[in-house]
Amino acid sequence: MHRDQSPLQARTAPELAPSLFLDLDQMLDEFTPLPIRAEFRFDPDMPAVITVEFLSERGPSLIWRIGRELLHHGLTSMSGCGDVRMWPALPRERPSSWLLLESQEVEALFEVPAAPLTEWLEATYRITSAAAEMDSLNWDGFLMDLLDGPAAPPE
């Protein structure tokens, strides 16, 4: 623990931004939505990353880790590239954004209600500001792992 962090702050931060449960629509095609529930989690020890668990009634849940900044910007403009992208939907009854997740195995498009996600993300930024979210990273350890490469297999 960093000397400037108190145990009290570490314990109360999750209470300030508890998990957010949202009902999303997964678009199976352009006209067929499939309702799905997702849990958004914020960890003050890794504030730049939001864990999103797509809860399934049948089968295992699916977990994605998405940049908090990508989610925040995706509520108002095109955000992300590659595997994760988010952008606002055209004006509708309820303001929403599209969240596109892609991997080699899966491509999924979700409609995410904007208002509750905006409010929840703002609460996470009150806990750890965007300017401070990289302060707790161990840059030396990260660079050493990067420069050393993968460990050699035992002989």
In order of their start, the domains of the chain are 7-145 (2.30.31.20)
Q: Are 36 and 24 in contact (CB under 8 A)?
A: yes
Residue 80 and residue 16: Cα distance in Å, rounded? 27
pTM for the full model? 0.76
For residue 38, count CB atoms less than 10 angstroms from its CB and return exposed for 0-12, middle for 13-18, buried for 19 or more.
buried
Amino acid at 38: A
Structure tokens given for 92: 């509708």
Task: Print pLDDT tens along the chain (155 aa).
Answer: 333 333 333 434 456 679 999 999 999 998 999 999 999 999 988 899 999 999 988 878 899 999 999 999 999 999 999 899 999 998 877 899 999 999 988 899 999 999 999 999 999 999 988 787 766 666 676 567 667 765 555 55
- Rounded (5°) CA angle 102-37-125: 80
